[in-house]
Amino acid sequence: MSVPRGYEYFEHTADVGALVRGVTLPRLFENASKAMFDLVCDRRAVRPRRAVRIAVNGSSLEDLLVRWLSELLFRLETDDMLFSTFSVDRVDRALLRARGTARGESIDRTRHALRREVKAVTYHQIRLVRGRSAWRVRIVFDV
């Protein structure tokens, strides 16, 4: 899969799926975050003015990614923010922890092109694997 932006969407009747890749686990998490926020809004119009620290624990790598993305959705709804850039510092495979920063700004309906709400990140047919040249995950968003 050669995808310049790090992910591509795939067809799913009522939801939206994304196939995401990343050379490292932090890049995979960042690209998955982009895939999710590209569903929500046009990220190009979102200025990275405020940084929000994110730290999550999981019970598997798949679970860790779902929790990372769910935390971003939670911040979107409770802090009323859109995120455009993501830097994941560390994904600890042994302790199953991820830490990083999401940057964005408050929702401004006059300036931001809003697309749709993502209701939830699902575990539906989730598969996170290490390929020969990159990590890959298949993930479905409930929209």
Report the residue number, 16 or 35, with the smaller CB distance to another protein: 16
Lookup result for tokens 């923010």: 81
Task: State in angstroms the smallest separation of the CB of 69 from another protein.
Answer: 11
In the complex, the smallest distance separating the C-beta of residue 133 from another protein, rounded to whole angstroms, is: 27
| Min CB(52)–another protein separation in Å | 15
Asked if residues 121 and 66 have their Cβ atoms less than 8 Å apart, the reply is yes
Residue 123 CB, nearest approach to another protein (Å): 4
Q: Give the number of other CB atoms < 10 A from CB of residue 116.
A: 11
> Would you say 116 or 130 has its CB closer to another protein?
116
Whether 65 and 122 have beta carbons less than 8 Å apart is answered as: no
Residues of the shown chain interacting with another protein in the complex, contacts defined by CB under 8 A: 9-16, 39-41, 59, 62-63, 70, 74, 76-78, 80, 82, 107, 109, 113-117, 119-126, 142-143
Judge contact between 27 and 6, C-beta under 8 A.
Answer: yes
- Which residues have CB under 8 Å from 129's CB, separation 6+? 135, 136, 137
